[in-house]
Structure 1
């Protein structure tokens, strides 16, 4: 599926003009903390389609809308001749695509979303098993008790960065020496994601009680919880994480959560050095890592603030476009 950010913005402009704490055991608290470190839904990949549908369904004059559509089509046709910003997924050769890929995850986990960004961009079909963070019954078969776990044609892979390295060697034919080189810019920024960026997220997601409840509202709506667990997790978890986030601030020497988030976003934009992606004209594994861990917070209050107060929004939108539709399939 191919997209062009220039065409999308041209279409939008033309159409718009025409339209005129409870008591929990330490073990349970620990599990709540694991699932709660992260906040919201995956990227809003259908935003433009929904906007367009609302426009057509609105009470505006049919003639005005028709005129807007006609003008938009002319704009798109003209832009197609000149636009160089055409993005596409990068599916590997069919012969190296795994036959059976299963991801054990928490929906809101940034590390799980990092793996999904890789799978989605390279159009590798995968099934998802949502793990209950309290019982973890879905991964009782595994000695490794964290997520993500990816099972590829029967082989278990653990830890998000290791999963991507291993899968990259299989489907992208990347040499291990190349992907792990200390001097590799891609490797440097992937490690920055794991060692710095992810530690800034929780203090921002749970900065205020209202933001903590916003996060847990999504977590309980999309996680694998029983009816009674949803309410316990939402309110006890939000309260617990509000206080945990304060400890994380101290641990990572964060004095101002938002300032730290904005600084990280600007650091990433500077690393792009004027290019569309760190990988140049197309994303590399570092682009996918940053996008993946930010995707759970993008439409939370913290993510909206980040886009409003930094320059990262244009890059993020490009990544949404190029990663495109999930390659997830029903289990």
Structure 2
């Protein structure tokens, strides 16, 4: 009964949000596009509809853009946890620009790397409806990073290219363990997030409140995206839960967190005395959910909190500068 009441409330909120739009045509377009704030998606709405059994074409189109939201060291450890020094003199870019959605986990992976290596960067928040900010690019997903005008795409590839430029002498190599856990982040950890952040109607609304508050939305777009997106993703998360064989959302999240902690094998970081790319990837993906209910529950019920706190200190303040 509680779930039914929650869904009824969402339905009423969607109706109220829709009535605030200019007309039937604009409402359809907003619902279709406003939910494109967490997943860099170019799949067609028909493909999404077929995959998840969604009959409403407007909802299917909106879902295509949201599948992947789509979450202290002691004084003796201070030196270990300091931010990485500025990049080598051979890599001093004059203009680094990240085109992103604020809540996108893959965008946050790139930001964690840039912050840790203290590479100043500007952020362009992409409007999820018009995507006018990236119309210049043939690549229609985010993140997109431009370094002195050169375009880089795909979060892992961006990071690999940046690392190579920071260490052109190949003084840093990526080992098998590091590669394994970077793959685990992209192929497992991100799939656990959506069923958790949209687990209940209240959590779905909390998540979309964060998305719409931090994203590049107009007032009307924000209103429609919050309620329509929360409703759509509540149902889609159940499909994702089934697709990835998740029986209990929180148990899967807790298991992923403990799996990561076990991988550390008592080390401060997977990289040993300082974070490596796998540490940065896990941290970046979890950062958007850390202070949502799912992230708070994860820290409360697992042992990942100490590592996460060390990572917060190691990554330090954002290297982001005003555009």
TM interval, shorter chain, is: 0.7 to 0.9
The structure with the larger Rg is 1
SS in 2 for 1:84: helix
Query: 2: distance between equivalents of 1:84 and 1:208?
Result: 40
Structure 1 equivalent of residue 185 of structure 2: 193
Q: Deviations over 1:51-93 (max 9, x none)?
A: xxxxxxxxxxxxxxxxxxxxxxxxxxxx85xx23432111222
Q: Which runs of 4+ in 1 moved over 6 A?
A: none
Query: 1: distance between equivalents of 2:228 and 2:62?
Result: 12
Q: Does the alignment pair 1:215 with 2:207?
A: yes
Following TM superposition, by how much is the alpha carbon of 1:37 offset from its aligned partner in structure 2, in angstroms?
3.1
Following TM superposition, by how much is the alpha carbon of 1:32 offset from its aligned partner in structure 2, in angstroms?
5.1
Structure 1 equivalent of residue 165 of structure 2: 170
* Matched-pair contact (CA < 8 Å) for 2:98–2:144: yes
SS in 2 for 1:96: coil
Structure 2 equivalent of residue 89 of structure 1: 83
Question: Structure 2: which 5+ residue stretches go unaligned?
Answer: 1-10, 15-27, 33-44, 46-56
Query: 1: distance between equivalents of 2:63 and 2:294?
Result: 20
Query: 1: distance between equivalents of 2:171 and 2:314?
Result: 25
Q: What RMSD over aligned residues (CA atoms) do the two structures have, in Å?
A: 2.2
SS in 2 for 1:129: strand
Kindly tell me: are residues 34 and 142 of structure 1, through their superposed partners in 2, closer, same or farther at Cα, counting changes over 3 Å?
same
Q: Does the alignment pair 1:205 with 2:200?
A: no
> What TM-score do you get using the length of structure 1 for normalisation?
0.77
Following TM superposition, by how much is the alpha carbon of 1:28 offset from its aligned partner in structure 2, in angstroms?
6.3
Following TM superposition, by how much is the alpha carbon of 1:134 offset from its aligned partner in structure 2, in angstroms?
1.7
Structure 1 equivalent of residue 123 of structure 2: 128
Kindly tell me: are residues 39 and 312 of structure 1, through their superposed partners in 2, closer, same or farther at Cα, counting changes over 3 Å?
farther
Structure 2 equivalent of residue 37 of structure 1: 68
Query: 2: distance between equivalents of 1:177 and 1:95?
Result: 15
SS in 1 for 2:77: coil
> What TM-score do you get using the length of structure 2 for normalisation?
0.78
Q: Does the alignment pair 1:116 with 2:104?
A: no
Aligned partner (choices 155, 161, 165) of residue 160 of structure 1: 155
SS in 1 for 2:310: helix
